[in-house]
Amino acid sequence: LTGISREQRAFQYLLAHAIPGDPRHVLQTFDQWSYHCEHLSSVGPVKGRIVERLLQERAPLQVLELGTYCGYGTVLLAQGLPPGARLYTVAVDPRHAAVAEKVIRLAGFDEQTVELIVGPTEEVIPQLREKHGLLKADFIFMDHWKRCYLRDLRLLESHQLLAEGATVLADNVLFPGAPHFLQYAKTCGKYRCKVHRASLEY
Protein backbone atom coordinates (compact mmCIF):
# COMPACT_ATOMS: atom_id res chain seq x y z
CA LEU A 1 0.00 0.00 0.00
CA THR A 2 2.88 2.38 0.73
CA GLY A 3 4.61 1.65 -2.57
CA ILE A 4 7.73 0.78 -0.56
CA SER A 5 9.08 -2.76 -0.82
CA ARG A 6 9.39 -5.03 2.20
CA GLU A 7 13.16 -4.85 1.83
CA GLN A 8 13.12 -1.04 1.84
CA ARG A 9 10.90 -1.05 4.93
CA ALA A 10 13.40 -3.31 6.67
CA PHE A 11 16.21 -0.93 5.77
CA GLN A 12 14.28 2.05 7.15
CA TYR A 13 13.91 0.10 10.40
CA LEU A 14 17.67 -0.56 10.40
CA LEU A 15 18.40 3.13 9.87
CA ALA A 16 16.21 4.02 12.84
CA HIS A 17 17.44 1.33 15.24
CA ALA A 18 20.81 -0.15 14.26
CA ILE A 19 24.15 1.23 15.43
CA PRO A 20 26.14 2.30 12.33
CA GLY A 21 29.48 0.54 12.00
CA ASP A 22 28.43 -2.29 14.36
CA PRO A 23 27.80 -5.36 12.16
CA ARG A 24 26.58 -7.56 15.02
CA HIS A 25 24.02 -4.95 16.05
CA VAL A 26 22.91 -4.54 12.42
CA LEU A 27 22.24 -8.31 12.27
CA GLN A 28 20.40 -8.28 15.61
CA THR A 29 18.21 -5.40 14.38
CA PHE A 30 17.47 -7.33 11.18
CA ASP A 31 16.48 -10.31 13.33
CA GLN A 32 14.12 -8.17 15.43
CA TRP A 33 12.42 -6.91 12.27
CA SER A 34 12.04 -10.41 10.83
CA TYR A 35 10.75 -11.91 14.09
CA HIS A 36 8.30 -9.15 14.96
CA CYS A 37 7.42 -7.19 11.80
CA GLU A 38 7.81 -8.89 8.43
CA HIS A 39 9.52 -12.13 7.46
CA LEU A 40 12.65 -11.78 5.32
CA SER A 41 14.26 -14.88 3.87
CA SER A 42 17.69 -14.03 5.27
CA VAL A 43 20.03 -16.57 6.84
CA GLY A 44 18.87 -15.75 10.36
CA PRO A 45 20.66 -16.30 13.69
CA VAL A 46 20.35 -20.11 13.95
CA LYS A 47 21.98 -20.92 10.61
CA GLY A 48 24.15 -17.84 11.08
CA ARG A 49 25.96 -19.59 13.91
CA ILE A 50 26.90 -22.44 11.55
CA VAL A 51 28.30 -19.91 9.06
CA GLU A 52 30.27 -18.13 11.81
CA ARG A 53 31.73 -21.39 13.11
CA LEU A 54 32.88 -22.52 9.66
CA LEU A 55 34.43 -19.11 8.93
CA GLN A 56 36.32 -19.28 12.20
CA GLU A 57 37.59 -22.79 11.40
CA ARG A 58 38.60 -22.04 7.80
CA ALA A 59 39.77 -18.38 8.05
CA PRO A 60 39.33 -17.86 4.27
CA LEU A 61 40.95 -14.91 2.49
CA GLN A 62 38.83 -14.96 -0.69
CA VAL A 63 35.09 -15.44 -0.12
CA LEU A 64 32.31 -15.58 -2.71
CA GLU A 65 28.63 -15.21 -1.84
CA LEU A 66 26.02 -16.07 -4.47
CA GLY A 67 22.72 -14.44 -3.54
CA THR A 68 23.12 -11.15 -1.68
CA TYR A 69 19.40 -10.40 -1.13
CA CYS A 70 19.29 -7.61 1.55
CA GLY A 71 22.88 -8.01 2.71
CA TYR A 72 22.25 -9.99 5.91
CA GLY A 73 24.43 -12.92 4.83
CA THR A 74 27.03 -10.50 3.46
CA VAL A 75 27.37 -8.69 6.79
CA LEU A 76 27.46 -12.06 8.59
CA LEU A 77 30.30 -13.25 6.33
CA ALA A 78 32.19 -9.96 6.36
CA GLN A 79 32.28 -9.69 10.15
CA GLY A 80 33.83 -13.18 10.37
CA LEU A 81 36.65 -12.56 7.89
CA PRO A 82 40.29 -12.56 8.99
CA PRO A 83 42.32 -9.35 8.42
CA GLY A 84 43.12 -8.72 4.77
CA ALA A 85 40.35 -10.96 3.44
CA ARG A 86 37.98 -9.91 0.67
CA LEU A 87 34.35 -10.80 0.05
CA TYR A 88 32.69 -10.77 -3.37
CA THR A 89 28.90 -10.94 -3.24
CA VAL A 90 26.66 -11.39 -6.29
CA ALA A 91 23.15 -9.90 -6.27
CA VAL A 92 20.83 -11.02 -9.04
CA ASP A 93 18.06 -8.45 -8.45
CA PRO A 94 19.12 -4.78 -8.85
CA ARG A 95 16.37 -3.59 -6.45
CA HIS A 96 17.62 -5.89 -3.70
CA ALA A 97 21.20 -4.91 -4.52
CA ALA A 98 20.36 -1.24 -3.90
CA VAL A 99 19.16 -2.14 -0.38
CA ALA A 100 22.07 -4.53 0.25
CA GLU A 101 24.65 -1.90 -0.71
CA LYS A 102 23.26 0.48 1.93
CA VAL A 103 23.09 -2.29 4.56
CA ILE A 104 26.70 -3.37 3.91
CA ARG A 105 28.00 0.19 4.17
CA LEU A 106 25.81 0.89 7.25
CA ALA A 107 27.48 -2.10 8.93
CA GLY A 108 30.85 -0.45 8.29
CA PHE A 109 32.34 -2.43 5.38
CA ASP A 110 33.96 -0.52 2.53
CA GLU A 111 34.50 -1.61 -1.07
CA GLN A 112 38.00 -2.89 -0.27
CA THR A 113 36.48 -5.51 2.04
CA VAL A 114 33.16 -6.19 0.30
CA GLU A 115 32.58 -5.87 -3.44
CA LEU A 116 28.94 -6.05 -4.50
CA ILE A 117 28.45 -7.31 -8.07
CA VAL A 118 25.03 -7.04 -9.72
CA GLY A 119 23.99 -9.49 -12.42
CA PRO A 120 22.89 -13.06 -13.17
CA THR A 121 25.32 -15.55 -11.63
CA GLU A 122 25.77 -17.42 -14.92
CA GLU A 123 27.12 -14.19 -16.44
CA VAL A 124 29.09 -12.97 -13.42
CA ILE A 125 30.96 -16.19 -12.54
CA PRO A 126 32.88 -16.41 -15.88
CA GLN A 127 34.00 -12.76 -15.41
CA LEU A 128 35.13 -13.02 -11.78
CA ARG A 129 38.82 -13.48 -12.54
CA GLU A 130 39.33 -10.97 -15.37
CA LYS A 131 36.83 -8.30 -14.34
CA HIS A 132 36.88 -8.51 -10.54
CA GLY A 133 40.25 -10.02 -9.69
CA LEU A 134 39.01 -13.12 -7.87
CA LEU A 135 41.61 -15.75 -8.71
CA LYS A 136 40.35 -18.59 -6.51
CA ALA A 137 37.72 -18.64 -3.75
CA ASP A 138 38.47 -20.42 -0.45
CA PHE A 139 34.89 -20.19 0.81
CA ILE A 140 31.67 -20.07 -1.22
CA PHE A 141 28.27 -19.39 0.30
CA MET A 142 25.30 -20.22 -1.93
CA ASP A 143 21.97 -18.70 -0.96
CA HIS A 144 20.35 -17.79 -4.28
CA TRP A 145 17.94 -19.72 -6.52
CA LYS A 146 18.18 -23.38 -5.51
CA ARG A 147 17.76 -24.55 -9.12
CA CYS A 148 20.99 -22.67 -9.95
CA TYR A 149 23.17 -24.29 -7.28
CA LEU A 150 24.43 -27.18 -9.44
CA ARG A 151 24.87 -25.09 -12.58
CA ASP A 152 26.85 -22.45 -10.68
CA LEU A 153 29.02 -24.97 -8.83
CA ARG A 154 29.96 -26.53 -12.18
CA LEU A 155 30.66 -23.05 -13.58
CA LEU A 156 33.00 -22.37 -10.67
CA GLU A 157 34.72 -25.70 -11.37
CA SER A 158 35.03 -25.14 -15.12
CA HIS A 159 36.50 -21.66 -14.62
CA GLN A 160 38.88 -23.05 -11.97
CA LEU A 161 37.66 -20.61 -9.34
CA LEU A 162 37.70 -23.08 -6.43
CA ALA A 163 40.87 -23.09 -4.36
CA GLU A 164 42.21 -26.45 -3.26
CA GLY A 165 40.36 -27.47 -0.08
CA ALA A 166 37.70 -24.80 -0.62
CA THR A 167 34.52 -24.91 1.45
CA VAL A 168 31.18 -24.71 -0.38
CA LEU A 169 28.31 -23.93 1.99
CA ALA A 170 24.82 -24.10 0.47
CA ASP A 171 21.64 -23.04 2.28
CA ASN A 172 18.22 -24.71 2.05
CA VAL A 173 19.36 -27.81 0.15
CA LEU A 174 16.68 -29.97 1.81
CA PHE A 175 13.84 -27.44 1.87
CA PRO A 176 12.83 -25.94 -0.49
CA GLY A 177 15.59 -28.20 -1.75
CA ALA A 178 18.35 -28.55 -4.34
CA PRO A 179 18.30 -32.33 -4.96
CA HIS A 180 20.46 -32.34 -8.12
CA PHE A 181 23.13 -30.23 -6.44
CA LEU A 182 23.09 -32.50 -3.39
CA GLN A 183 23.32 -35.66 -5.47
CA TYR A 184 26.22 -34.27 -7.50
CA ALA A 185 28.12 -33.10 -4.41
CA LYS A 186 27.71 -36.52 -2.79
CA THR A 187 28.51 -38.71 -5.80
CA CYS A 188 30.97 -36.83 -8.05
CA GLY A 189 33.96 -37.74 -5.86
CA LYS A 190 35.30 -34.17 -5.56
CA TYR A 191 33.71 -33.23 -2.24
CA ARG A 192 33.30 -34.47 1.31
CA CYS A 193 29.73 -33.67 2.29
CA LYS A 194 28.13 -32.79 5.58
CA VAL A 195 24.49 -31.78 6.06
CA HIS A 196 23.93 -29.28 8.88
CA ARG A 197 20.47 -29.65 10.40
CA ALA A 198 18.76 -26.35 11.19
CA SER A 199 15.29 -24.86 11.40
CA LEU A 200 13.98 -22.47 8.77
CA GLU A 201 14.88 -18.86 9.47
CA TYR A 202 12.63 -17.05 11.97
- Which of 164, 171, 186, 194 is catalytic? The answer is 171
Residue 77 contacts residue 50 (beta carbons within 8 Å): no
Q: 190 near 182, Cβ under 8 Å?
A: no
Which of 143, 152, 157, 194 is the catalytic position? 143
- 186 classed as catalytic: no
Active site annotation includes 157: no
**Is 31 assigned a catalytic role?**
no
Question: Rounded to the nearest 5°, which phi and psi values hold at 116?
Answer: -95, 125
* 8 A C-beta contact, residue 74 and residue 148: no
Q: How much of the chain is helix, strand and coil, in % rounded to 5?
A: 50, 15, 35
| Bridge partner residues of 116 (DSSP) | 89
- Candidate list 131, 146, 190, 194, residue with the active-site label: 146
CB-based contact 42:30 (threshold 8 Å): yes
Known catalytic membership, residue 172: yes
User: Are the CB atoms for 92 and 121 separated by under 8 Å?
Assistant: yes
172, 186, 190, 194: the catalytic one is 172
Annotation marks residue 146 as catalytic: yes
How many Cβ atoms from other residues are within 10 Å of residue 150's Cβ?
Answer: 18
| Contact criterion met (CB below 8 Å) for 102 and 11 | yes
Instruction: List, by residue number, the catalytic residues.
Output: 143, 146, 171-172, 201
